[in-house]
Amino acid sequence: MDLENCEYWFIAGSQDLYGEETLKQVASHAAIMTDDFNNEPSFPGRIILKPTAKSPSIIRGLFEEANASSSCAGIITWMHTFSPSKMWIQALAVNRKPVLHLHTQFNRDIPWASIDMDFMNLNQSAHGDREHGYIHTRMKLPRKVIAGYWQDKELRRRMGVWMRAAAAKQDGMNKTVLRLGDNMREVAVTEGDKVEAQIKMGWQVNTWGIGELAQRYAQVTAAKAEEFAEEYENTYELAAELKQNGSARCAMLEQAKIEIALKEMLEAENAGAFTTTFQDLHGLPQLPGLAAQRLMEQGYGFGAEGDWKQSMLTRCAKVMAAGLEGGVSFMEDYTYHLEKGREAALGAHMLEICPSIAEKKPRIEVHPLSIGGKNDPARMVFNAKAGPAVLATLVDLGSRFRMIVNEIETIKIENEMPLLPVARALWKPYPNLTDSAEAWILCGGTHHSVYTSALDAEYFRDWAQMCGIEFVLIDGSTRPNRLQDELRWSDAYYSHR
């Protein structure tokens, strides 16, 4: 995944009133800032300086150009001088790109000794950005507002978060979730409105028959599967029975074939994510375990049991986290440790957890799966690395999508679990296990989620805002009763939109 090709258009606002001299300075300051932004290592993609926004026709032209550009992931606006906002209405009304309103000024300090009215007229974002903010608020437009000095580290960190969220939004506009089979029978929370998902998030959520995968799988040669097995051998640890001539090696080769066939299909359909379901594996020998883990590691989103919402969100987090430390995986809440003072949640899945979150080299093993009635599947087994992380999930409330994010602290797994051969993570959620669980359940959050140690809640908040969906945060200050009131207010807000 390469965010280098993403463009972020930088538009400095002004107006004709100030005369040529002032406008020249506006443009030259914006050019200096653009160059400096482009040397910022934490920014993905490139900042592209656009002509100064000084008339309604220029502004509308810029936004129409942005809409038509497949490389423009978002627009950064900054009012160096006053830029009357009625000039922006037509442009903002047609805009389809995420907006970052950067509230900064070129000079850091007030030049006490030399300041005069010319300086005041040129450097008045404190004035102009308020006018700019008003029109967004009046038009009920989503945007991120970041205030501060443009060279400040924290300001740039937050800009970078927004840029990555915008890249994920852009990625979703061009990608498909490839559903293999439908939702797990009778399960409610993994269902959802696929049409609304495309309207809000851009994703095309479409289905393909498992037979197509089975057919591709059957055509993968033994030699090709062996090639992959060698790569596995070089990348991961292998259980003794999986090594050359081992008794269970063929189970791993089956997963290699599934990986190859699935990847072919994903590429053919320009898919960024996929789902499987253990109830629909006709023609496949095993549930895709190792194969799903490997594809997640390569940047694909994954959702089990037909959970296309979490699959899409996993991909979204993979894009936001591209090049960052830490990992992203599909995850499931499994079981709790409820000892007073040492409460923790154990997350895992039947098989499909991404090795990008592993603490050390994963080990491939083959064991029976007590569900689905297929052959014993190969899977990677590991513990997740300790440290701060978040869980994010998407639910469909019928009238809208809600994203729920919980800040957690992943802890080291001190106990051996020899009879549980799956990848797993152990965490303490904020504010504590019981309040977190109560809050999550009051929100209607799923048992499935996206787990990431590479991102914090701000990324998801920015992305949710770009998509126009609800965002609920469960963190250190969450109180379930208070949150329940907020959810009621939120219901009122969304029912009046």
Positions that interact with Mn ion (CB under 5 A): 304-305, 332
**Cα separations in angstroms, 201 against 96, 194, 250, 307, 453:** 12, 10, 40, 16, 23
Would you say 47 and 35 are in contact if contact means Cβ atoms under 8 Å apart?
no
At closest approach, how far in Å is the CB of 402 from Mn ion?
19
Helix (H/G/I), strand (E/B), else coil: 299? coil
At closest approach, how far in Å is the CB of 70 from Mn ion?
35
At closest approach, how far in Å is the CB of 359 from Mn ion?
22
Give, rounded to a whole angstrom, the gap between the first and last alpha carbons of the chain. Answer: 36
At closest approach, how far in Å is the CB of 259 from Mn ion?
20
Q: Which is nearer to Mn ion, 253 or 350 (CB)?
A: 350
Q: Which is nearer to Mn ion, 246 or 372 (CB)?
A: 372
At closest approach, how far in Å is the CB of 410 from Mn ion?
19
At closest approach, how far in Å is the CB of 148 from Mn ion?
42
Helix (H/G/I), strand (E/B), else coil: 290? helix
Q: Which is nearer to Mn ion, 177 or 457 (CB)?
A: 177
At closest approach, how far in Å is the CB of 4 from Mn ion?
35
**Cα separations in angstroms, 363 against 238, 358, 378, 423:** 6, 10, 10, 9
If you write DSSP's letter for every residue of 115-183 in order, what string do you get?
--HHHHHHS-HHHHHHHHHHHHHHTT---EEEES-TT-HHHHHHHHHHHHHHHHHHHHHT-EEEEES-P
> Which residue of the chain is nearest Mn ion when measured via CB?
304
Q: Which is nearer to Mn ion, 317 or 353 (CB)?
A: 353
Q: Which is nearer to Mn ion, 305 or 458 (CB)?
A: 305
Q: Which is nearer to Mn ion, 305 or 365 (CB)?
A: 305
Q: Which is nearer to Mn ion, 332 or 407 (CB)?
A: 332
Name every residue whose Cβ is closer than 8 Å to that of residue 76 and which is 6 or more positions away in sequence.
Answer: 8, 9, 10, 11, 47, 99, 100, 102, 159
Query: Strands across the sheet with 271-275, in order?
Result: 204-208, 176-180, 271-275, 301-303
Would you say 38 and 76 are in contact if contact means Cβ atoms under 8 Å apart?
no
Quote the DSSP letter at residue 184: P
